[in-house]
Amino acid sequence: MDFNPCMKHKLVRKTVRKFAEAELGPIAYDIDCEARFPWEVIEKMRPLNFFGLQVPRKYGGAEVDSISYAIIIEEISRVSAAVGLCVTVHNSVGTYPIVLFGTEEQKERLLPPLASGERIGAFCLTEANAGSDAGGVETSAVKDDDRYVINGTKIFVTNGGVCGSALIFAITDPENPRRAASVLIVEKDTPGFSVGEIEDLCGMRANPVSSLFLEDCRVSESNLLGRPGDGLKIGLAALDTGRIGIAAQALGIAQAAFEASVKYSKERQQFKKPISSFQTIQNYLADMATEIDAARLLLYRACALKDDKKPFSAEAAMAKLYCSKVASSVSNMAVQIHGGYGYSKEYDVERYFRDAKVTEIYEGTSEVQRMVISRAVLTQLT
């Protein structure tokens, strides 16, 4: 195994870092404070194919390998985790399921506007009584001739306030609701589809997370993704890929917190010397560097398995579990290193600290990741 990044990956990191620092760096603080989605930067990202990262070139996408994808998400999230969240959710769970399960007609119709960023995608599984329990979906989709009539409410939808299309998980067989969830592609201008108020969240404040309401929302049968009842299969495949993206996002937060801590520890003076000269601070930095490197290796292993078309569910869960844990622990240490300043919005580590926590919750809580991992372990050793 070669642990050295190839020239292509070095170039990807350098290019995306330069863009993120130039375009997102100056506004990252403001968009967090204002809870504002930065359309002006999104417009600049569109021609660079940030919204078609995993879409085949024939449909207008970039079709990058998974390690390149992880690097791109990490570098955007290193500057603005909320924008990194938009990009990864759009690419992984908002668009990639159409690549995997869509008909040729669906791909030709839906992928080009998604790949170009003309439409931003959303993934709508979570409801009041269905989150970790993916089989508890209560939204219904009743067949009426050649259309489905959808009724239900989705909550905590990432990109919800700006999405142009949404993958809606709904029950199509009320006689067997635990096994009959299906996925329907709903476009924003469809009558009966509406967006709720933007959530006032602790972190990721520049991403417009909202509820989505479907009231007698009628969509064509041609917008059914896969077959009726394929919801669980599609959801699990989407989340495997999505967890790679969230792991990369968490890694970006951790990297940013670490870099800020190194810089601050060299500048901050106590007892007439920089605090980086103190053993306690050095221990913090050593732990942070080690945890980040270990997280990155777990992430890249999952990416390599995916690109080799080998099973990677457990490895993606390990990467997501560990990277999100590292984001929280590293950002917590960063606040401690900064002392009182770390608790002030004047310093970015306060934002990293808030942003990190939710990486342990969405796209499957850490408890769910452990369930996925333990099942794989028990199966392998049986």
Phi-psi region of 145 (alpha: psi -120 to 50; beta: other; left: phi over 0): left
Query: Quick check: is 363 catalytic?
Result: yes
Measured distance CA(263)–CA(305) in Å, rounded = 35
The 3 state secondary structure assigned to the chain is CCCCCCHHHHHHHHHHHHHHHHHHCCCHHHHHHHCCCCHHHHHHHHHHCCCCCCCCHHHCCCCCCHHHHHHHHHHHHHHCHHHHHHHHHHHHHHHHHHHHHCCHHHHHHHHHHHHCCCCCEEEECCECCECCCHHHCCCEEEEECCEEEEEEEEEEECCCCCCCEEEEEEECCCCCCCCCEEEEEEECCCCCEEEEEECCCCCCCCCCCEEEEEEEEEEEHHHEECCCCCHHHHHHHHHHHHHHHHHHHHHHHHHHHHHHHHHHHHHCEECCEEHHHCHHHHHHHHHHHHHHHHHHHHHHHHHHHHHCCCCCHHHHHHHHHHHHHHHHHHHHHHHHHHHHHHHCCCCCHHHHHHHHHHHHCCCCCHHHHHHHHHHHHHHHCC
Task: List the structure tokens of 121.
Answer: 């995608």
Measured distance CA(1)–CA(54) in Å, rounded = 24
Strands 140-144 and 121-124: unpaired
DSSP bridge partners of 152:
214
Q: Which of 74, 75, 127, 363 is catalytic?
A: 363
Residue owning tokens 């777990």: 298
Residues 6+ apart with CB under 8 A from 367: 132
Q: Which amino acids are annotated catalytic?
A: 363
